Amino acid sequence: MILMTVVLSIVLANVFVISLLSIKEWSYTMQYLLIYYGYTIVDILMLVFICLKIKENRFIFRSFLPSGMGKDHKTEVTEDTYKPSQNNTFKTLLIGMLIGTLTLSACVLCAVLHKDINLSFAFDASQIPMFILAFLMVMMQSSSEELWYRGFMYERINVHYPLWVSIAINGVYFALLHTILNSEIDLFALLSICISGISFSFLRWYSGSIWLVMGSHTMWNFTQSFIFGLPNSGTPADISLFHLGEVLNTAGSLFYDPGFGVEGALPSLIVDLLIIAVILLLAKKNGRFNELFMSHEKKASLESVESEKQS
């Protein structure tokens, strides 16, 4: 049912965008904007609707809100044992953006040093309005994905199943969606995106904030497409701070995939695995490792037993 809800959202977004594109002959730029914003608006509206309309999903909506806005209470609904995050702050969002920028830049640096690609600086001040529009567009789209995957799906699965199950399914489904949307993807890129989805889930869990992964995902995509001019999930952008010149290694290498960019290369996989490893080590050190084997139902049961003992 959870996966079908996500699929339904994708189908409705496709119908909406195709309807918009069929109205008239749009310019390439307008087509690009309609596709991006069309998908995102439908996704967000659908998500808000099912989170507010269905009582059992309201705790998920509270996880999206800024710190201090969610209600910290419990009801008879097991799913509603959620305590609103105190980490959904502007600072957390900026930290996520920094993580996304640095990790993507590290992957690009590997490709440049290995002489797989050639980048040239090509900034034009007249493109500043388009850069601002592009940033807002990427932030909406990336945040929409995070709200669905590390928000709705992550929390709904964790209601009845251990967190590690939610994280694993999240990664697999995240990868499969990118497979459907990209013809250039190969087996290695598929694995890399799966691990990326798992890495985002670990960041979501340990930080306690979906805002952090929204920021990280946004800047990974924006830096890749509009700073370095590289294909994002196989799709290049029209404008960028740097331009991708000749791909020096057209056969591809461990550091760069000509069809799928750095996302289909080894550094991206290593970065995500390092993030997962660091979080697991910190969780072990701070006594949070057992959270991976807990569901909302199990937490509610343990809290009930503890409450009875205290009374």
Report pLDDT digits (tens) over 154-165: 999 999 999 999
The answer to whether residue 72 is domain-embedded is: no
Q: Which of 255, 241, 239, 215 is nearest to 101 (CA)?
A: 215
Q: Are residues 53 and 157 in the same domain?
A: no
Alpha carbons 241 and 180: distance in angstroms, whole number = 29
Single-letter amino acid, residue 72: D
Domains of the chain: total: 2
Q: Are 232 and 274 in a shared domain?
A: yes
Tell me: do 97 and 22 sit in the same domain.
no
Domain stop point among 10, 25, 58: 58
The answer to whether position 31 is within a domain reads yes
Does the pLDDT of residue 31 top 90, yes or no? no
Q: Would you place residue 172 in the very low, low, confident or very high pLDDT band (cuts 50, 70, 90)?
A: very high
Range scoring the smallest mean pLDDT among 16-30, 38-52, 106-120: 16-30
Share of the chain above pLDDT 90, in %: 40
65 domain-assigned: no
Q: Are residues 98 and 239 in the same domain?
A: yes
Question: For residue 33, is pLDDT > 80?
Answer: no
Q: Would you state the pLDDT for residue 234?
A: 61
Instruction: Say yes or no to pLDDT of 224 above 60.
Output: yes
Residue 66 forms part of a structural domain: no
Looking at the predicted structure, is the pLDDT value of residue 206 above 90? yes
Mean pLDDT of 123-127: 83
What is the mean predicted confidence (pLDDT) over 96-116?
A: 95
190 lies in the same domain as 257? yes
Stretch among 16-30, 88-102, 251-265 having the lowest mean pLDDT: 16-30
What is the distance between the alpha carbons of residues 36 and 189, in angstroms, rounded to a whole number? 23
Look at residue 166 and tell me if it is in a domain.
Answer: yes
Contacts 24+ apart (CB under 8 A), 298-307: 298/162, 299/81, 300/78, 300/81, 303/81
DSSP lists the bridge partners of residue 243 as 120
The phi, psi pair for 200, rounded to 5°, reads -60, -40
Residues 49, 88, single domain; the answer is no
- Whether 149 and 242 map to the same domain: the answer is yes
Distance CA 128, CA 103 (A): 24
Average pLDDT over residues 45-66: 85
Say what the pLDDT of residue 81 is.
Answer: 46
Q: Could you give the percent of the chain with pLDDT greater than 70? A: 86
Residues 53 and 111 both lie in one domain: no
Burial letters 93-113, b for 16+ CB under 10 A, else e: bebbbebbbebbbebbebbee
293 in the same domain as 235: yes
Predicted structure pTM score: 0.86
pLDDT band at 67 (very low <50, low <70, confident <90, very high): confident
- Cβ 150 vs Cβ 170: under 8 Å: yes
Cβ distance 147 to 47 under 8 Å?
Answer: yes
Q: Is residue 40 domain-resident?
A: yes
In this prediction, residue 58 has a pLDDT band, given cuts at 50, 70 and 90, of confident
Residue-level pLDDT at 99: 97
Question: Amino acid letter at 50?
Answer: I
Q: Are residues 129 and 100 in the same domain?
A: yes
User: Considering the domain boundaries, does residue 217 fall inside one?
Assistant: yes
Of 36-40, 73-77, 98-102, least confident by mean pLDDT is 73-77
Same domain? For 153 and 297 the reply is: yes
Residue 1 lies in a domain: yes
Domain extent at residue 11: 1-58
Exposure string for 269-278, b = 16+ CB within 10 A, e = fewer? bbbbeebbee
Mean pLDDT confidence for 34-58: 83
Same domain, 176 and 49: no
Q: What is the mean pLDDT of residues 29-36?
A: 71
pLDDT at 300 over 70: yes
Calculate the CA dihedral of residues 48, 51, 53, 55 and round it to 10 degrees: -160
The residue among 140, 131, 105, 133 whose CA lies nearest residue 224 is 105
Rounded Cα distance between 140 and 221, Å, is 11
Mean pLDDT of the chain: 84
Beta strand extents in the chain (DSSP E only): 119-121, 242-244
